Amino acid sequence: MAAAEEASRPFAGLSDVSISEDIPVEGDISVPVASSRRDEEFSTLDEPVKETILRDLRAVGNKFIHVLYPKRSSALLRDWDLWGPLLLCVTLALLLQGGAADSDDQGGPQFAEVFVIIWFGSIIITLNSKLLGGTISFFQSLCVLGYCIMPLTAAMAVCRIVLIGGSGTVSFAVRLVVVTASFGWSTFASTAFLADSQPPNRKALVVYPVFLFYFVIGWMILTFSPSQ
């Protein structure tokens, strides 16, 4: 007990100590309000559903425009989404239905095959990019690779129209030119968006899987022939 009283004696007078008002107090103790204002500005909880849908559609359309005119930009990386890639994947899978390689009861696996190739291939390319030291996130890479399928999807639509007139030598030549151009377009667009996120000495190792990815999709389009 005595030891405790002796230990508390040096602090006995601290309760009577007061800070003079003349002594300036350093530091900023104001409450930040910028973050709350920013949250209120960008909040979409009170936004009508129609406005939300139109805003998302405009965002998807802007990303399509960026793929049409590929250049080194962070547009697809900054505001990524998977709505566009999903729409392109479904459209391409539907256009590849009804091929001569499909039997009457095997339309489903062809549709699933397109989904597996596109999404599994995109995941593999993304993991390869991350292992090589890329600074891009997982979903950003999926967004870029998915949106850059648009030229190949358009090529598939053109090939279906060309095949209506027959599948002769001229038809094959036209489809070869269209698919080759769209393949180069997709590869160039994707590498233009992903170039700055990769180490300079490893860009070739990242571009090579992208090349194979779009080559496989282009080959599926070129070798497609409608069932009689």
Looking at 69-165, list the stretches that DSSP marks H as alpha helix, in order from N- to C-terminal side. 75-78, 83-95, 107-131, 138-147, 150-164
Single-letter amino acid code for the residue at 91: T
**How crowded is residue 131: how many other Cβ atoms within 10 Å of its Cβ?**
11
Distance between CA atoms of 139 and 209, rounded to whole angstroms? 17
Q: Nearest-CA neighbor of 67 among 6, 173, 153? A: 153
pLDDT given for residue 159 in this prediction? 92
The single-letter DSSP state of residue 21 is T
Read off the pTM.
Answer: 0.71
Backbone phi and psi for residue 58, each to the nearest 5 degrees, phi listed first: -65, -40
Alpha-carbon dihedral sign for residues 158, 161, 167, 171: negative
Dihedral, CA of residue 51, residue 56, residue 59 and residue 60, to nearest 10: -140
Contact yes or no for 49/62 (Cβ under 8 A): no
pLDDT, block means (10 residues), the chain with 228 residues: 53 52 49 47 67 81 79 64 88 79 50 83 85 80 88 93 85 93 91 76 82 92 79
pLDDT given for residue 107 in this prediction? 43
Backbone phi and psi for residue 226, each to the nearest 5 degrees, phi listed first: -70, 150
Q: ∠89-52-118 over CA atoms, to 5°?
A: 10
pLDDT given for residue 205 in this prediction? 82
Q: ∠87-173-70 over CA atoms, to 5°?
A: 40
